[in-house]
Amino acid sequence: MKTIRSYLAGGWVEGGHKSGAALGGAAAQTLVNPATEEPVAEVAGGPVDWGRAVAHARTRGGEALRALTFAERGQLVKALSKLIHAHRDELIALAIANGGNTRGDAKFDIDGASGTLAAYGEVGIALGKTKFLVDGEAAQLTRSVRFVGQHIAVPRQGVAVHINAFNFPAWGMMEKAAVALLAGMPVITKPATSTALVAARMMELVVEAKLLPDGALSFVAGGVGDLLAHLDGQDVLSFTGSSDTGQMLRAQKDVVARSVRVNVEADSLNAAVLGRDLARDSEGYSLFVADVLRDMTQKAGQKCTAIRRVLVPADMVEGVREDLVERLGAIKVGDPAREDVGMGPVATKKQQEDVRAGIARLREEADSLFGGDGSVGEAVGVPTGKGFFVSPVLLQVRDGKSARRVHEHEVFGPVATIIPYSGEARDAVAIVARGEGGLVSSVYSDDRAFLGDMAFGLAPYHGRLFLGSSKLAGHAVGPGTVLPQLVHGGPGRAGGGEELGSLRGLAFYLQRTAIAGDKPILEALFNKKPEDAA
Ligand code: NAP
């Protein structure tokens, strides 16, 4: 069986801490196929010199990256994209074996990784031969025209520690790495242990291809031990995962004491709101139904951006129920390696238990319209009783006004809940806002006034909104797809973080510095054309 190793301080390390060990977490070090429960790999435990790993990344990796221009770093990031794409089929097979992914799910993750890398490669190339960014225009600071101030942004001189969730081992690793490397910061990346096979193989490919400078990308298999205790004010920590882990990590004594910059991408109770103007035979309505179904079943609902709350005008609920239930009935649940299977298992036994418990919690206030309690009788192509399967479950709250759990508890699986509402924008906004901050919500309507009211009403609570209108059908990816051009993250429950968004994503890894001084000196230093600025 394959042993997954860490790549630290420029070499492969047999071991790594047991998952979360230094911070009290449990150990689960054998990786399995969630459809068959057969072991596919193991992560060996053992001592790691985290101080050395951090120092190596900071010095060797950081110095090498900062010596390059944005355009040169962009070329590196672009080369990573090509590397991942060249090994697409191998990585898809690993995602099916270790992630419970259908082929479509696996492509979504792996193409998301190569696509984001490619996009950031282009961002870097467009920035040209410069090693710092000029932020805005110089401002005259007093009556004297000589005394001006200019903001610039330079790479931080530390290391970027990335801790990722289990659901997107490829995209999660590379969307963060793309931005940090382009900004000039070396990365220590840690995938979630349960689905680490894809990320581990990507790391092997990167090392074998010798694309990156020594120390630019390090990889942690298993837990991070006391890694965070070695971080300081030049370092950053970017976390994706559950709110509980995010809160615990950002409250770590050393992280707080040394002002380590932290970004958290956490839970989200994303909503889809159907406008009352969309007739059942309209393109906009079909788009809405297709997006809800995709988000319920793609990656078995294990997407941070998946639609969890479905707001439907009360007099349209019956039709929506019929359409969703009929379409859900056609989805086969089983071995994701089979072509005829539309949805695989969730990633782990624990995940299965959490989802089943979450469904039970939601059912205290909601009726199950499809999928009952989430049990799957026979999973297609799997020995009876094996695999971490959960049926898609569609619920409807009994009382939209008093329901609480649906706004408080993210069930990270193939589960969505219909919430009837009046059809008025202000009512929909008030209901969605009860989720206390999310990554993305979507609104489906052809009524521009309604879309406007919803957009301005929902924007304060979200990092991203998707406005689905009839004419957009066939032209857009759904709200569940995170795009490198747009910011990803959200306030409140979603962690309060922000990633991606093209150039905006670089800010996390750069230090913005205001420089005040004599105008001709500042102009000479900072107002160079990119080709002269190296
Ligand atoms: P999780 O249990 O919080 O784990 C996330 C990561 O944190 C894993 O790599 C895990 O490593 C690590 N971790 C756990 N305990 C740790 C500790 N004591 N010290 C250092 N690292 C530790 O979350 P998950 O179950 O993987 O992911 C599901 C959640 O992530 C969902 O709530 C989902 O909404 C959220 N999510 C959010 C986004 C987003 O972009 N906002 C994207 C995807 C997922 P081990 O696996 O080794 O324990």
Query: Mean pLDDT across the stretch 217-237?
Result: 95
3-state secondary structure of 226: coil
Judge whether 163 and 141 are in contact, CB under 8 Å: no
Q: What number of other Cβ atoms are within 10 A of residue 474's Cβ?
A: 8
Pinpoint the alpha helices (H) of 258-316: 283-297
Sole residue written with tokens 């007093």? 142
Q: Which two tokens stand for residue 516?
A: 């005040």
Residues with CB under 6 A from ligand 1: 19-20, 23, 25, 163-167, 190, 192-194, 223-224, 240-242, 245, 265-268, 304, 410, 412, 439, 494
Query: Which ligand 1 atom sits closest to the C-alpha of 190?
Result: 9
Catalytic residue among 38, 283, 304, 378: 304
Judge whether 44 and 1 are in contact, CB under 8 Å: no
Mean pLDDT for the chain? 94
Query: Mean pLDDT across the stretch 220-248?
Result: 95
**Closest C-alpha to 162, from 144, 136, 150, 180:** 180
In this predicted model, what pLDDT tens digit does every residue of 318-361 receive, in sequence order?
999 999 999 999 999 999 999 999 999 999 999 999 999 999 99
Judge whether 106 and 96 are in contact, CB under 8 Å: yes
pLDDT for the residue numbered 97:
96
Query: Mean pLDDT across the stretch 83-109?
Result: 97
Judge whether 369 and 396 are in contact, CB under 8 Å: yes
Q: Which two tokens stand for residue 472?
A: 């957009």
Question: Cα(334) to centroid of ligand 1, in Å?
Answer: 25
pLDDT for the residue numbered 52:
95
Active site residue 265: yes
Q: How confident is the model at residue 401 (pLDDT cuts 50, 70, 90)?
A: confident
Question: Cα(440) to centroid of ligand 1, in Å?
Answer: 19
Give the global pTM. Answer: 0.94
Catalytic residue among 265, 410, 498, 499: 265
Is residue 21 predicted with pLDDT exceeding 90? Answer: no
Query: Mean pLDDT across the stretch 231-245?
Result: 96
Task: Pick the residue whose CA is nearest to atom 42 on ligand 1.
Answer: 304
Question: H or E segment at 71?
Answer: helix 70-86
Sole residue written with tokens 């990722």? 164
Q: How confident is the model at residue 377 (pLDDT cuts 50, 70, 90)?
A: confident
Whole-angstrom CA distances from 70 to 66, 155, 190, 302, 514 are 9, 11, 25, 35, 21
pLDDT for the residue numbered 405:
96
In this predicted model, what pLDDT tens digit does every residue of 427-439 receive, in sequence order?
999 999 999 999 9
**Closest C-alpha to 476, from 486, 467, 485, 484:** 467
Task: Pick the residue whose CA is nearest to atom 22 on ligand 1.
Answer: 20
Query: Which ligand 1 atom sits closest to the C-alpha of 268?
Result: 34
Distance CA 194, CA 4 (A): 11
Least confident of 212-216, 517-521, 528-532: 528-532
| Percentage of the chain exceeding pLDDT 70 | 96
Sole residue written with tokens 């039970």? 360
**Closest C-alpha to 350, from 28, 94, 106, 25:** 28
3-state secondary structure of 417: strand
Distance CA 412, CA 362 (A): 12
Query: Which ligand 1 atom sits closest to the C-alpha of 351?
Result: 25
Query: Which ligand 1 atom sits closest to the C-alpha of 19?
Result: 47
Distance CA 413, CA 395 (A): 13
Sole residue written with tokens 């230094």? 22
Task: Pick the residue whose CA is nearest to atom 38 on ligand 1.
Answer: 304
Is residue 28 predicted with pLDDT exceeding 50? Answer: no
Question: What are the backbone angles phi and psi of residue 237, rounded to the nearest 5°?
Answer: -125, 120
